[in-house]
Structure 1
Amino acid sequence: MTRPVPVIVHLVSGPDGPWDPVRRDFARTGAALVHGSTAQWQQQDGESLRGLLGRDFDRERRSGPGGAQFVATRLMVKHLVARLLGTPPGTVELGQALTGRLYVRGCDQIDLSLSHTGDVMLAGITSLGRIGVDVEPADRPLSGSGVERQMSTAPELAEVADLPEPARNDRLVRRWTLKEAYTKALGLGLAYPFNGFGFDLDAEPPRLLTAAGSPLPGRSWSFRTLSVGPSHVGALALHDRGFAGANEVDLSTSLDPRALLAVRRALRPHPA
């Protein structure tokens, strides 16, 4: 039987969540999706911010005008990870790979993906394998912009040409988010040419296609297009390696022994 895939993007307005629906999704499917606004998440005082950001605190100071967005994305992801691992957010250390992908230091049993546009942030987490997410304004103008040929296979171009506006632009935005989510999950991002593979958006759920339009075999990948708030479109690409169950992310089973020891030491009360 195919494992269920999360289809709801939960709004978390700040550290208080709400997180219960997120935990339920993660327990049921092995993955969860949240979104929030940078304006709400960046409202932290300097002292608590230093404790929450850890080694990222100095980087935030060097980020200039982009510092507020950097803070908001890191805080939302840290709280998401902490709520699912059962640990304080200040003990969660995020790293960034050369490709830009975030990961949790010392915890290779979960995978993360983050996307943001304007004030909207979307984050995905899974214990199953690889995850990629993307979010775009639903009215992002792609039709007639010249992007169609860069992002579409020949069959996709023919399909879109037969559509009226605004259906044409809607189809392009949905397809773009899926392609970006998929290449993020692969760890390649925009380095993977978007016209080298396709998506059948009329299938439920969407199906991955070759550049010629043929379905690709295999059922380890799941794809979804999603509503993110009232005005944005999101996409999820999820790869299930078929290993352990969805719940194997307890702190004691997720962290390597040295990292676990360090976290436990950090959590011990200091002598007066």
Structure 2
Amino acid sequence: MQPAPATPPPWTPGAVHLWWLEGPLKPPPGTRRARLDAILRRVLAPYVQQEPAALRFGRESRGRPFLLADDAPDFNLSDTGGGTLVAVAQRGRVGIDLERLDRRLSHRDLARRYFADREIAALERLDDETARQAFLRLWTAKESSCKATGTGIFGWLPRWSFDPAPDAPLLWDLPAEAGARVDWHHRRVQPHPDFTAVLSCHGFAPVAQGFRLPCAS
């Protein structure tokens, strides 16, 4: 991640700007929504040459937000304990999902509930710690894809399936509603050593550029 420039860098073919903000593991209660709104406004305002408070947002039929402005970029945000990542693209659709690498959860039970049969079978062949890591790789790939389409995750996670191998996400299957496989591109990115994320893009092959967003004073 590079230090954040004073203004967004010029768009180059396929560019996706990733804005990383490291934050407290447990923000004060009741402030998360306001904090995320402030981060989004801070990131997006320079792209449309407006003040953060002046930005207006709309929502698609399933709740995915978009910016109401001429030539507005597409964007997506992911927030987890200790960090926030915002993806911004000039064209196409983007989704981003961020997870802590040390996250502990009932990964085998969750996989049986939300994953495709082929993914479940692949995880069952792994020892528990390797399966936990593979689960996080799969979850970030699947959720970022759902966020790019704007469907939400419930009922859609099993319809996206990926190879759980530790390299770049390899798409096995996708919902018919998502269009052609050739139009989808997935990149694993690591904004910080303690985190992993997947960037999902529809309509173009991304070239990710990462920037560290300084904490607001």
TM-score by length of 1: 0.62
**Equivalent position to 1:160, from 123, 141, 146:** 123
Maintained 8 Å contact 2:148/2:200: yes
Q: 1:145 to 1:158 in 2, by over 3 A?
A: closer
- Cα offset, 1:72, TM superposition: 2.2
**Equivalent position to 2:73, from 93, 102, 110:** 110
Cα distance in 1 for partners of 2:61, 2:15 equals 26
Maintained 8 Å contact 1:38/1:69: no
Give 5+ residue unaligned stretches, structure 1.
Answer: 1-9, 12-16, 43-63, 243-272
Determine the structure 2 residue equivalent to 1:193.
Answer: 156
**Equivalent position to 1:239, from 190, 197, 202:** 202
TM-score by length of 2: 0.76
Matched residue count: 199
- Of all paired residues, the percent bearing the same amino acid is 23
**Equivalent position to 2:21, from 3, 16, 36:** 36
Q: Aligned with 1:191: secondary structure?
A: coil
Determine the structure 2 residue equivalent to 1:172.
Answer: 135
1:57-87 superposed Cα distances (whole Å, 9 cap, x missing partner): xxxxxxx942x22232122211221233344
- Cα offset, 1:127, TM superposition: 1.7
1:167-208 superposed Cα distances (whole Å, 9 cap, x missing partner): 211110011011000011111111333222311244964222
Cα distance in 2 for partners of 1:106, 1:22 equals 17
Determine the structure 2 residue equivalent to 1:52.
Answer: none
Determine the structure 1 residue equivalent to 2:4.
Answer: 18
Cα distance in 1 for partners of 2:8, 2:163 equals 29
Q: Aligned with 2:190: secondary structure?
A: strand
- Cα offset, 1:20, TM superposition: 6.0
Please tell me whether Structure 1 or Structure 2 has the larger radius of gyration of its CA atoms. 1
Q: Aligned with 2:145: secondary structure?
A: helix
Determine the structure 1 residue equivalent to 2:186.
Answer: 223
More strand by share: 2
**Does 1:128 find its partner at 2:113?**
no
1:27-83 superposed Cα distances (whole Å, 9 cap, x missing partner): 3533211121355xx9xxxxxxxxxxxxxxxxxxxxx942x2223212221122123
Cα distance in 2 for partners of 1:80, 1:165 equals 39
- Cα offset, 1:146, TM superposition: 0.9
Q: Which has the higher contact order (CA 8 A, sep 6+)?
A: 2
Q: Aligned with 1:228: secondary structure?
A: coil
Q: Summarize the alignment of residues 69-84 of structure 1 with structure 2, pairs less than 5 Å apart.
A: 69-84=32-47
Determine the structure 1 residue equivalent to 2:52.
Answer: 89
**Equivalent position to 2:104, from 135, 141, 149:** 141
Q: Summarize the alignment of residues 52-67 of structure 1 with structure 2, pairs less than 5 Å apart.
A: 65-66=29-30
Cα distance in 2 for partners of 1:205, 1:241 equals 16
Determine the structure 1 residue equivalent to 2:208.
Answer: none
Q: Aligned with 1:122: secondary structure?
A: strand
Q: Aligned with 2:103: secondary structure?
A: coil
Cα distance in 2 for partners of 1:143, 1:98 equals 32
Letter in 1 for 2:17: A
